[in-house]
Amino acid sequence: MHMHAMILLLSNPQLLDLKKIFGSAPIIYLLLLAMSIASISIWLYSLFTFRPKDIMPESFRKELKTLLETQAYDQAQKLCQSKENLLSSLVRTGLTSRALGPQMMVDAMKYEGKRASTPFWQRLALLNDIVIVAPMLGLLGTVIGMFYAFYDVNRSIESINALFDGLGIAVGTTVSGLIVAILSMIFHATLKYRIVHALNLVENEALQMTILIRR
């Protein structure tokens, strides 16, 4: 049944007038389009910038670990200052606060980890906001369209036909909002998994280096 309706829709493009649908609520559709572009941009940017080789380069990790094993703390700190990544930020904080004692050093590194990872969680929060707002915005467009359709209706056959046409067009904003929300939800889930996995790798590596600093 659904397949037959889809084939009929594709074979007769007059049944789906995109220009008319967009013209029914241009502001709503533009906002939903902006949200979809924003969600895709956030997802792609995070995928290309938040990678283990970027936040914890292998060559840097090996060199830093060698310096810590030989207790060359000054050189290790200079190396961390010259390399800007998440692991270097954590270890640099640990080296700076190691004179305050092991517990203070660990606490300082945890605080630095939360601070340094804040931008990544903010991107996830933006995606989550789009997931929430997009369907509500689509529903708002549908409700406004239905309001005007019923408000303008008269007691004639022509007006009743126009009413059903208007209702069909108004539902388009809800469909668009749900599509944007579903895509953003998928982006949010995949990106959250990647961020949590990468942060766990960095945290485990930082804890191992903390043992070397405390020796």
Task: Kindly state the DSSP code that residue 57 receives in the 8-state scheme.
Answer: -
Asked whether the beta carbons of 94 and 205 are under 8 A apart, the reply is no
In a 10 Å sphere around its CB, with 0-12 CB exposed, 13-18 middle and 19+ buried, how is residue 171 labelled? middle
For the entire predicted model, the pTM comes to 0.73
22 falls in which pLDDT band (50, 70, 90)? low
- Tens of pLDDT, residue by residue over 34-84, are 999 999 999 998 888 877 777 888 888 888 888 888 888 888 888 888 888
Residue 158 CA, chain-centre distance (Å), reads: 47
Give the CA distances from residue 26 to residues 29, 71, 132, 141, 148, in Å, rounded to whole numbers and listed in that order: 5, 64, 20, 10, 15
Domain ranges of the chain: 23-49+120-197, 52-116
pLDDT given for residue 154 in this prediction: 55
Rg value, the chain, Cα: 27
Instruction: Name the average pLDDT for the chain.
Output: 79
Neighbours of 99 (CB within 10 A): 8
Tens digits of per-residue pLDDT, 107-151?
888 888 888 888 888 989 999 999 999 999 988 888 877 776 666
Write the pLDDT tens digit of every residue in 142-199: 887 777 666 655 555 555 555 655 666 677 888 889 999 999 999 999 999 888 888 8
